[in-house]
Homo-oligomer: A and B are copies of this chain.
Amino acid sequence: MQFTLIHQDTSTKARWGKISTSHNVFQTPVFIPVGTQGSVKAVSSEELEEIGIKIILSNAYHLYLRPGYRTIQKLGGLHKFINWKGSILTDSGGYQIFSISPLQKVSAEGVKFKSHIDGSEHFLTPEEVLEVQLVLGSDIIMVLDECSPYPVDYHQAKASLERTLKWAKRTKSVWSEKEKGLFGIVQGSTFKDLRKRGAEQLVEMGFDGYALGGLSVGEPLSLRGEIIEWTNAYLPSSQPRYLMGVGTPMELLENISLGIDIFDCALPTHIARNGTVFTWEGKINLRNAGYKEDSSPLDSKCECYTCKNYSRAYIRHLLRAGEILGMRLATYHNLYFLNQLMEKARGAIKENKFEDFKREFIKKYERR
């Protein structure tokens, strides 16, 4: 994996870059759709390609439990299994183990947890978590981390950070891949000295990219921004920065302006299935009665498949009637919208106008 910083915006800290993997090349800032179980919910690989998506995320935790990573290996790896020709980033499963698993016990050695599916017990070391992701054939691999909840006391946050750093070191020491990328994850909750230490230590170990973990877990938005800006200052500009679990159109632009390159979030596809779709004039909820006889597309400026072929009234009807097609069409649109937003953001960075672009977008988006 290779990151190239193409241009640094002069109006903000926003960056335009590109990442090459053995599967393709894509530009940053990039929003990565979430395909937790090997499928971005409701859409197909071909549709993702059609939208212009170059990289998706899958969760090692979920695929490890079902169908099993050895099963996927036998079937030719994750790319072949899910018929996806683009890049894949896999989450280490740390976040899932600490949020979905009904039981977890952390030791220096690794983490013991129970499957949320059948209650079976599992134990994974950071080295094994790496192995799982290598076997899956992921292009960008995340180290196992211990994600602090919010709020958390200093002592606990420090302990999680130290464990995460030790696990990162062990993972790095067995890493020998040339074509894939390994990302370290900075923890430290909202404590600046911990974030500094986390970033500095990981940079010293030398990863292909750095993720900001333990954010978007309930902390106030302003504090989040402060921590991100603070942490970014300790990360090298030559490597990509990945903010995990973000977000909405507004959050994406806000964090691009702080120098983040990579995002992932399940929210845009999740809310689509419930009838909330993005438009250039703010988000709308199709379940509102006002759309009952609305023959216009989701967004009149959008050129996606959904907007070229279907009306708000029809998609509203489908969602109310519990029809799968409604979820498909709304998901397709939201992913297309975010992909367009990222493209426009990169264009603005190129022209050193990201601050203006962000302001203009927010002005229209918040009007509704």
A42→B293 contact, CB < 8 A: no
Contact between chains at A324 and B313 (CB < 8 Å): no
* Interface residue A123 (Cβ < 8 Å from any Cβ of B): no
Of all chain B residues, the one with the shortest Cβ separation from A316 is B67
Query: Which of the residues B311, B323, B328 comes within 8 Å of A81, measured between beta carbons?
Result: B311
Bound-state CA distance A215–B66 (Å) is: 43
- A83 & B313 in contact (Cβ 8 Å cutoff): no
With a cutoff of 8 Å between Cβ atoms, the chain B residues found around residue A41 in the complex are 323-325
- Known contacts A292-B67, A293-B75; A37/B321 CB under 8 A: yes
Chain A 311-334 interface mask (CB, 8 Å, partner B; 1/0): 101101110110111111100000
Q: Which residue of B lies closest to A321 (CB)?
A: B37
The CA of A214 and the CA of B318, in the complex, are separated in Å by 29
A217 to B70, CA, bound (A): 47
* A82 / chain B contacts, CB cutoff of 8 Å: 314
Contact with B along A110-152 (1 / 0, CB 8 A): 0000000000000000000000000000000000000000000
A44 lies within 8 A of chain B by Cβ: yes
In A19-41, which residues have CB < 8 Å from any B CB? Answer: 37-39, 41
Q: Is the pair A313, B44 in contact by a Cβ cutoff of 8 Å? A: no
Shortest CB distance A271–B (Å):
15
Q: How far is the CA of A66 from the CA of B292 in the complex (A)?
A: 10
Residue pair A67, B328 in contact (C-beta under 8 Å): no
Q: A340 in the interface, Cβ–Cβ < 8 Å? A: no
A101 proximal to B (CB < 8 A): no
Q: Let me know if A222 is at the binding interface, CB within 8 A.
A: no
Per the bound structure, the CA–CA distance linking A67 and B295 in Å amounts to: 13
User: Which chain B positions have C-beta within 8 A of A313?
Assistant: 67, 71, 75, 81
A1 within 8 A of B: no
The answer, among B46, B83, B316, B325, for a CB contact under 8 Å with A44, is B325
How many angstroms from the CA of A82 to the CA of B324 in the assembled complex? Answer: 14
A76 contacts B by Cβ under 8 Å: yes
Whether, in the assembled complex, A265 has its beta carbon less than 8 Å from a beta carbon of chain B, the answer is no
B residues near A323, Cβ cutoff 8 Å:
37, 39, 41
Chain B residues whose C-beta falls within 8 Å of the C-beta of A292 in the assembled complex: 67, 71
- Chain B CB count within 10 A is highest, among A42, A71, A320, A324, for A324
Q: Is A74 interfacial (CB 8 A cutoff)?
A: yes
Are A324 and B317 CB-contacts (below 8 A) given A295-B76, A310-B83? no
Q: Do A83 and B314 have beta carbons less than 8 Å apart?
A: yes
Query: Is the beta-carbon distance between A314 and B38 smaller than 8 angstroms?
Result: yes
The answer, among B39, B46, B74, B76, for a CB contact under 8 Å with A318, is B39
Q: Is A309 an interface residue (CB 8 A)?
A: yes
Q: Is A75's CB under 8 angstroms from B295's CB?
A: yes
Which residues of A does B touch, CB under 8 Å? 37-39, 41-46, 62, 66-67, 71, 74-76, 81-83, 292-293, 295, 309-311, 313-314, 316-318, 320-321, 323-329
The 7 closest A-B pairs by CB, nearest first: A37-B321, A42-B324, A67-B317, A39-B323, A39-B325, A83-B309, A75-B295
Q: What are 9 A-B interface contacts by the 8 Å CB criterion?
A: A45-B309, A66-B320, A67-B313, A71-B292, A71-B293, A74-B293, A75-B313, A324-B324, A324-B327
